[in-house]
Amino acid sequence: MIRVLLVDDHAVVRVGFRLLLQSVPEMSVVAEAESGEAACQMYLEFNPDVVVMDLAMPGMGGLEALRRIRSRHPQAQVLTLSAHDDPMHARRALQEGALGFLSKRSAPEALLEAVTAVAAGRRYLDPVLAQKLALSEFDGTGKSPIERLSEREFEVFVRLAGGATVQRIASDLNLSGSTIGTHLYNIKQKLGVANQSELTLIAIRHGLINA
């Protein structure tokens, strides 16, 4: 039996995923969480075989939750989900220790295949996304200025581009406002931008947020 912790801030999405996963006799959703904070607590409580976690959630968010779970439980096997099928989100999630990355636009059977693979300790990438990752490395597009951002800078960048304030980001990531301010300064320097509007345009251009 593959025991799954399902993490998504949308209740309707969780219901759909739970019904799909539990249609397979070998899978069981043992717990659900609507935030990264709850995911960290429930992992400790339920010790699931696989965490299926959306990256884009209010508060801590999926990437930070992934980082914290993996730092405390290196054996954790996490499949990350995103409405964005861009290579950068996938690359960052894999760098943080996720075993798999799947676009929410994938066919339902892909989720079952991905959970099975991750439960067995195998890496899983959506085939279309895997091709994008390979092509970005081959033609050099993976070496955009965004690639120069550290893991933390990338997360702050995406949140800022999405309209979050420095104070909100500091609260969500449990960091000081001055630390986020320093990250913002470094992000602007590395990307060659002067304000938050330009950050948003870059993020939209690279498919990191919706227009």
For 27-66, the pLDDT digits (tens) are: 999 999 999 999 999 999 999 999 999 998 888 889 899 9
pLDDT at 132: 67
| Helix (H), strand (E) at residue 30 | strand 27-33
Q: Which residues of the chain have pLDDT under 50?
A: 138-139, 141-142
**Nearest to residue 95, comparing CAs of 55, 59, 47?**
55
Cα dihedral 150/152/154/157 (nearest 10): -130
Q: Is the pTM of this model over 0.85?
A: no
What does the block give as tokens for 177? 């406002």
Question: Considering only CA atoms, which of 119, 129, 124, 111 is closest in space to residue 16?
Answer: 111
Specify the pLDDT at position 142.
47
Domains of the chain: 2-137 (3.40.50.2300), 144-205 (1.10.10.10)
The amino acid present at 25, given as its one-letter code, is P
Sheet of 78-82: strands edge to edge?
27-33, 2-7, 50-54, 78-82, 100-103, 124-125
Backbone angles phi, psi at 44, to 5 degrees: -65, -40
